[in-house]
Amino acid sequence: MNNYQNILLAIDFSDYDHYVAQRAKHLSDQFNAHLHIIHVLDNIPMPDTPYGTVIPLNEDSSYDLLEAEKNKLIQISDQLDIAPTRRWMVWGEPQQEITQLAVQEQIDLIVVGSHGRHGLAVLLGSTAKEVLYHAECDVLTVHLRDN
């Protein structure tokens, strides 16, 4: 049985990100895997681009909120030693974008928190069955406590 080779960490900048990120980092170190990171923008206004378009992190934006999100992603990615080519910020529905990116990047393990906007609570919503059931790779749900 092969080790995981490409691990995708899905974060939503909630208070729980740190713990989920540490788990993903720990696993990628343990397996000597490439660590990828995705943040899906589902709560800020979309600029004049096609829905779901990937936003290059090196592109200027006039939206302060977008800049703030970019900076957060860069900061977390730097802390985790994630290569710039493996950082993704995408507009769209979290479950759809996470699953699509996983296929595109040949991810074999997705790591999500049990809470938060990208977490299991959301994934278990109306489209959850389709998403997790049809995900093309393993999914680790990191348990997070509310307190």
Residues that bind a copy of itself (CB under 8 A): 1, 3, 22-23, 25-26, 30-31, 114, 120-121, 124, 128-129, 132-133, 135-143
- For residues 40 and 93, the answer to whether their CB atoms sit within 8 Å is yes
| CB of residue 143 to a copy of itself, shortest distance in Å | 5
We find the least distance from the C-beta atom of residue 111 to a copy of itself, in angstroms, to be 9
Contact predicate 38/109, CB 8 Å: no
In the complex with a copy of itself, the residue whose CB is nearer, 55 or 124, is 124
Rg of the chain (C-alpha set):
14
Q: How far is the CB of 51 from a copy of itself (least distance, A)?
A: 27
What span, in angstroms and rounded, lies between the C-alpha atoms of 35 and 10?
A: 11
Helix (H) or strand (E) holding 88: strand 87-91
Of 17 and 69, which has the nearer Cβ to a copy of itself?
A: 17
Looking at the Cβ atoms of 29 and 67, the one nearer to a copy of itself is 29
Q: Which is nearer to a copy of itself, 89 or 120 (CB)?
A: 120
Q: Max CA-CA distance within the chain?
A: 48
CB of 113 to a copy of itself, least distance (A): 10
Please give the Cα distance from 96 to 127 (Å, whole number). 9
